[in-house]
Amino acid sequence: MLAPFSILLMFALILFPAQNDAYKVKRENMVKQQIQGRGVKNIMVLNAMRSVKRHLFVPSDQVPYAYDDRPLPIGYGQTISQPYMVAYMTSVIKPHPNMRVLEIGTGSGYQAAVLADIAKEVFTIEIVPEHGKMAAEKLKNLGYSNVKVKIGDGYQGWEEHAPYDAIVVTAGAEVVPPPLLAQLKEGGKMVIPVGSPYMTQTLKLIEKRKGKIITKNLMPVLFVPFTRESQR
Ligand code: SAH
């Protein structure tokens, strides 16, 4: 007779690949319907969205909804952005494998993982220590060795590793933080939601060309507020 442990192991071996395949199918559908379907074409972005396991970045009670077309709660009043938004923001910075990217608002670590799948190095800052610690641990365990997480106020950027080819801000800021503009490389791109807290914000693409700042409004969005150290 098989020991109970062996039976459990057999079940796990049969169920795990099936479960993984189910998530793979869900990711493929997510990419086709939500992302390609809305016009994101960049092949590196589509592949990153196919490969990063979003269900591993959400709390266990949210796993069944991980590939749904919406943001999800991740605790402490924060959210993991809608998959389309992650893909769109990644595509507008025109990512490439030599890039060094700064992200503000690590949250679950998912956007950082998508960026890390394409770029050379990702630096990400989170103001809620619990999120920062959890995301750093998760990214490390999943083998994203090109991501560095810092806990602090992203308003100041991360001077030590500046300048950056691109900056991705995933919290709604009232103004574009001047330190972030200063840490953007010549020719670099920043994508940032700007507006009043809890109101619709405007997603902006900011480019630094020959020292000039060129701003383009992309679309209305709703992100959790960009908080400051003094407000916490
Ligand atoms: N990119 C995240 C989305 C997180 S939501 C993901 O893929 O899951 C926005 C995050 O920005 C929240 O975790 C919030 O705590 C963080 N945040 C808000 N203001 C911040 C600031 N000033 N500096 C750094 N992080 C900030």
Burial 29-59 (b: 16+ CB within 10 A, else e): ebbeebbeeeebebebbbebbeebebbbbbe
* Residues contacting ligand 1 via CB (< 6 Å): 78-81, 104-105, 107-108, 110-111, 125-128, 131, 153-155, 170-171, 224, 226-228
Domain boundaries, the chain: 4-231
Spatial distance between the Cα atoms of 74 and 60, rounded to a whole number of angstroms = 10
Closest residue by Cα to atom 2, ligand 1, is: 107
**Average pLDDT by consecutive 10-residue portion of the chain (232 residues)?**
68 68 94 98 98 97 97 93 98 98 98 98 97 98 98 98 98 97 98 91 96 95 88 54
The first and second tokens of residue 174, run together, are 């009232």
Q: What is the CATH code for 4-231?
A: 3.40.50.150
Q: Find the 153 Cα to ligand 1 centroid distance in Å.
A: 10
Q: Find the 170 Cα to ligand 1 centroid distance in Å.
A: 6
Q: Which of 123, 127, 147 to mutate to test the pocket of ligand 1 (most atoms within 8 A of CB)?
A: 127
Amino acid at 104: I
Spatial distance between the Cα atoms of 163 and 198, rounded to a whole number of angstroms = 31
pLDDT at 134: 97
Answer yes or no: are the C-beta atoms of 182 and 205 closer than 8 Å: no
What pTM does this model have?
0.93
Q: Clarify whether 81 is annotated catalytic.
A: yes
Q: What are phi and psi of 150, to 5 degrees?
A: -125, 140
pLDDT at 55: 97
Answer yes or no: are the C-beta atoms of 102 and 157 closer than 8 Å: yes
Compute the radius of gyration of the chain from its Cα atoms: 18
Tell which residue, 169, 190, 193, has the closest CA to residue 181. Answer: 190
* pLDDT per position as a tens digit, 3-27: 677 777 676 666 666 777 889 999 9
Answer yes or no: are the C-beta atoms of 155 and 178 closer than 8 Å: no
Spatial distance between the Cα atoms of 112 and 163, rounded to a whole number of angstroms = 18
pLDDT at 2: 56
* SS3 (DSSP) at 196: coil
Q: Find the 169 Cα to ligand 1 centroid distance in Å.
A: 8
* SS3 (DSSP) at 161: helix
